[in-house]
Amino acid sequence: MEIFSIEQLKAKAKLVRRHIVEMTGAAASGHPGGSLSATEMLVALYFNLMQHNPQDPQWADRDRLVLSKGHASPALYAALAETGYFDPGTLKDFRKLGSPLQGHPDRRRLPGVEASTGSLGQGLSMGIGMALARRLDDRDYYTYVITSDGEMNEGQTWEAAAMAAHHRVDHLIAFLDYNKFQLDDSTKKICDMEPVVEKWRAFRWNVQEIDGHDFKAILHAVGKAKKVKDAPAMIVAHTIKGKGISFMENNNQFHGVAPTPEEVLKALKELE
């Protein structure tokens, strides 16, 4: 697998952000804010860290990725398209009737999608199942999960956290996209889950805390997490909702509202 430099990863992130803006704008629907906050994580994984093969999406030894925050599907679709799972030209069909590019990922419809997600709080459980299957099958792949801070409100998240630690599930690396917002307001106002890092440590996970937009930090954190044995790993990634578009950053209006045609042009100009 080709390894990308930091500058190449930054260029790919800008391209993915352009796709996110164009896709949600064309559909007049979608979740741009949380897609933009997860961009660096997905780019680092698909272009540098994960072992995967777009020509053989069901390769048995591929690394798996579960996008638990399934509403951030535009970022996932853009990464899959740019790594060769399907023609990037089809991104324009996002959320159109009959398109495999549904609002939330559907593994039955699109190559490269490992899990159908969107019901928040379930992705970590799916990832644990994949990691346990790896152990049973005696394979060496890693399972990655990208979850959201709003999902920390879900009881199933913590049931999964306890189960993974109890069974010493390794080869499991989760990212918390900690952009501090969820659907209705800031996470602090809805249900403050701080101290987040201490909570995950109390559940006996190996925990790191990073800037989720810093590629060097992401690559280093995953490298450290891969050395963890007999325990799951959590990377708490501090991010900015709407990252990369000035009028979207920390603006929760764009959680589930697409940019207008005028806003699309403005955003693309910023990304030139």
What per-residue confidence (pLDDT) applies to 3? 85
Q: How many domains does the chain have?
A: 1
What per-residue confidence (pLDDT) applies to 2? 66
Which regions in the chain score pLDDT beneath 70? 1-2
What per-residue confidence (pLDDT) applies to 209? 98
> Is 54 contained in some domain?
yes
> Is 1 contained in some domain?
no
Q: Each residue of 23-58: pLDDT tens digit?
A: 999 999 999 999 999 999 999 999 999 999 999 999
What per-residue confidence (pLDDT) applies to 224? 98
**CATH label of the domain that carries residue 179:** 3.40.50.970
> Is 193 contained in some domain?
yes
Domain that holds residue 71: 6-270
Reduce the secondary structure of the chain to three states and give it as a string.
CCCCCHHHHHHHHHHHHHHHHHHHHHHCCCCHHHHHHCHHHHHHHHHHHCCCCCCCCCCCCCCEEEECCHHHHHHHHHHHHHCCCCCHHHHHHCCCCCCCCCCCCCCCCCCCCCCCCCCCCCHHHHHHHHHHHHHHHCCCCCEEEEEECHHHHCHHHHHHHHHHHHCCCCCEEEEEEECCECCCCEHHHHHCCCCHHHHHHHCCCEEEEEECCCHHHHHHHHHHHCCCCCCCEEEEEECCCCCCCCCCCCCHHHCCCCCCHHHHHHHHHHCC
